[in-house]
Amino acid sequence: MIKKLIGKIKRAAETHKKAATAALCALIAAAILAAVELPAMVTASTATRELPIYSVERDQKMIALSFDAAWGNEDTETLIRILGKYNVKATFFVIGRWAEKYPESVKALADAGHEVMNHSDDHAHFNTLSAD
Ligand SMILES: [Zn+2]
């Protein structure tokens, strides 16, 4: 059903590109929300294509909050302040070049109790890289 809808939206995109893009984004968001609500749907989909983990079974109601840091650091202090105000710890996935450029921000994140993890050195798109 979702494939049919995406096909219709793609055909409409030829004449109404912006509206179709917005509709496709809304559809993808709806599909992600449906997958989060119905974890079984994610499991069923993984038989044909590997998907990231969107949710895991938990007794408690909780979320994991993560941020990617690959560009500037102008919002990092604000994020640390806001997260601190609500006593929220998050995971920051930084790229190597960001860490080299903003070591004080990496230290500030760690000092504030956040988890600092890596998401590549230069933000390469792994599915387009060769095995070398
Ligand atoms: Zn990223």
Q: What are 62-75's pLDDT values in tens digits?
A: 899 999 999 999 99
Task: Clarify whether residues 73 and 39 are in a common domain.
Answer: no
How much distance in Å is there from the Cα of 116 to the middle of ligand 1?
14
pLDDT band at 47, cuts 50/70/90? low
How much distance in Å is there from the Cα of 131 to the middle of ligand 1?
21
pLDDT at 126 over 60: yes
In a domain, 52, yes or no: no
Residues within 5 Å of ion ligand 1, judged at the Cβ atom: 68, 70
How much distance in Å is there from the Cα of 1 to the middle of ligand 1?
30
Task: Clarify whether residues 36 and 88 are in a common domain.
Answer: no
Domain that holds residue 29: 2-45
> What residues contact 84, with CB distance under 8 A and at least 6 apart?
112
In a domain, 56, yes or no: no
pLDDT at 24 over 80: no
The HSE-up count of residue 79 (CA atoms within 13 Å, CB side) is 21
pLDDT at 14 over 70: no
How much distance in Å is there from the Cα of 69 to the middle of ligand 1?
7
pLDDT band at 48, cuts 50/70/90? confident
The tokens for 29 are 């968001």
In a domain, 55, yes or no: no
The HSE-up count of residue 63 (CA atoms within 13 Å, CB side) is 4
How much distance in Å is there from the Cα of 119 to the middle of ligand 1?
7
pLDDT attached to residue 3: 54
In a domain, 101, yes or no: yes
Lowest mean pLDDT among 39-43, 63-67, 80-84: 39-43
Task: Clarify whether residues 34 and 78 are in a common domain.
Answer: no
Pairing relationship of beta strands 115-118 and 66-69 according to DSSP bridges: unpaired
Which residue has 């919002």 as its token pair?
75
DSSP H or E segment with residue 117? strand 115-118
- Count how many domains the chain has: 2
